[in-house]
Chains A and B, each alone.
Chain A
Amino acid sequence: MNTLLAIRDLHVRYPLKTGLSALAGNRPSFVDVVHGVSLDINRGETVAIVGESGSGKTTLAMAVCGLAPVFRGEVRFDGRQLERERNNRLNPDRKRVALMFQDPVGSLSPRMTVRKILAEPFRIHRTGSSSPEQEARRLLSLVGLSEDFGDRYPHQLSGGQARRVGVARALALEPDLLIADEPTAGLDVSIQGEVLNLMSRLQQQMGLGIMIITHNLNVVRHIADRMAIMYLGRFVEQGDAQKIFSRPRHPYTEALLSANPSTDPDAGSGRIELSGEVPSLLRRPAGCEFNTRCPRAGDRCRVSFPGLAGDFGDQAYHCHFPLD
């Protein structure tokens, strides 16, 4: 079995403050940000999570890394079930699971130099045969930064340089699973290529499993083996990336893929514009959660939630009226 990460029916629930304004609006006292997600990531495989901004992608990543509360469901890493600790947080082995945060500058401590930041994991975990400083130097060159960047503080870096330091730190301990939240946002296309090529190379060398969260569909098309499309806390479709790109079955997937802005000034758009109300987590629509904006929605969609159709290992989706 080479399943590295197995997520089953995961729910993340946050309590809501019930202030006066909240009471007036008759709001619930909690919000389910991740609402029943199942996903497998194999060794040596890249799985991309795409989807609407605010749909719960970062929260899913944080939950797997023990940084967000798990309300229901289970996560297995390398065959072993992760226990729920205090505050309902999971407790993964931090040497084997690395997380790259979405916010590059905010996730680097402002009072440490880049060299210190990169040497830190080696000090804590005492691994590697060379000194932490040597390791820091090696990591810098790995992400294409010259040695003098070691003396800088995070605020003295450009946005893309800070992102690269984040990449280097995540790869420091040669994890088995890398969870990368928007790893190439803010990078120019050349450095983006370098970072992605680096991730692919390490994947080949070490069998690294990668979960990449990104809005960049061009990136997904090139590097993902499988992909999952998230909408309002659920995966509306998931499966083989090539298959989904060439033949999306869920109407949201189709709309999302069609929106990708093109660099060819003469390209016709062929874009599917979504109208209708963007649903709120606080008031999940009944039935299919996409029905408020779906161009194909019928009566059934407003009352019953569509079960999983298709093949979970290949291409599966939740929709009453899937595309052909």
Chain B
Amino acid sequence: MSQPVLKIRDLSVSYQTEAGPLQALRDVTFAVPAGKIIGIVGESGCGKSTLISTIIRLIAPNARIGKGSILFKGDDLLRMTSAEMRALRGDEISMVFQDPMTSLNPVRPIGRQMADVQHRDALSRREKNARSESMLGRVGIPDPAAQLTRYPHQLSGGMRQRVAIAMALMAEPSLLIADEPTTALDATLEVQIIHRLQELQRDFGCSILFISHHLGVIAELCDEVVVMYAGEVVESGPMRDVFLEPRHPYTRKLLECDPARIAEPTRDLPVIEGSLPNLVQLPDGCIFRERCPKTIERCGLQRPRLAGDGHQASCHLLDTAE
């Protein structure tokens, strides 16, 4: 297998709060192989956005990176200077944020902003606009030429998301990181964006790290899946293995809650009882224990480790089964 583009090892990040450090990520380990599309799923608040803001080092002022390493093509991003990181973003690594307004300037027309991201290319203004137009067309924006003169507030939520995606694609990065980029898109456009991303991946051999709560999108787009819960990776592996034979109780529960899998319409949708543990005062043992339907005594005493080959999960039940 080829060298992974991104290799994250034992990464821990916390936020300083009045109650004490909130441990948002603990010992996160996974890799993004070259030319693959990796999906991250997990409970809201489990640390997905924290993870990617740490990778690209656009972290909140109260965030503290503890230990660990983030190797990008062999170099540790955590050791790079801010200037080096800035150069890397927008060139080798592009980002689509969860909130498209993070990457859009509200008082600058779309066309200007799209020209700005092409600053490294020796093209005339007209050529840059032509490229922007064609990219907007590819993400399904009608009448792209007219949109270049408009401001972000004049676009719908889904149009803003597509502009942000178009801008990220224009850089032709070797790693694209997208945080829920399709929440405001209808199903037909969502599929179209999935195809664009797959094209990008094929044409430029780039790797994609894709966060989404839409399990159908993950199933359609991704080669591998990483499942997170309360700041830890609880399962990872090839998409089919994880979706068809989930090993961690959280993954199983998550899949059971997917309304797409429930044939009869119901107003009483399944949920995972309980809530995320307090990340300031972490419980002992397994992080999922309080909500897990299958606990054994060890679960309260000892933290399970990710184990397995290719398809990994961190659950004590897996040791006992073997």
Contact = CB atoms under 8 A, between A and B. Distances in A.
Interface of A: 14, 17, 19, 21-22, 25, 27, 50-54, 58-59, 102-103, 105-106, 144, 146, 148, 151, 155-156, 158-161, 163-164, 182, 185-194, 196-197, 200, 215-219, 221-223, 242, 255-257, 259-265, 271, 274, 277-283
Contacts of A277: 142
B164 to A, nearest CB: 13
B260 A262 contact: yes
A263 B44 contact: no
B213 A187 contact: yes
B275 A146 contact: yes
Given A22-B149, A222-B259, A189 B99 contact: no
B142 A151 contact: no
B240 A53 contact: no
A292 to B, nearest CB: 10
Nearest to B188: A259
Contacts of A274: 188
A33 to B, nearest CB: 9
A244 to B, nearest CB: 13
A102 B187 CA distance: 17
Contact of A158 (B49, B215, B255, B275): B49
Given A58-B156, A197-B269, A215-B185, 15 more contacts: A59-B156, A106-B101, A148-B19, A163-B44, A185-B183, A190-B257, A190-B272, A215-B184, A216-B214, A221-B265, A256-B188, A261-B214, A263-B219, A263-B260, A281-B142
A196 to B, nearest CB: 6
Interface residues of B, number: 72
A55 to B, nearest CB: 8
Contact of B261 (A106, A186, A263): A263
Contacts of B215: 189, 263
B113 interface: no
B71 interface: no
B4 interface: no
Contacts of B217: 261
B311 to A, nearest CB: 14
B278 interface: yes
B184 A255 contact: no
A161 B43 CA distance: 10
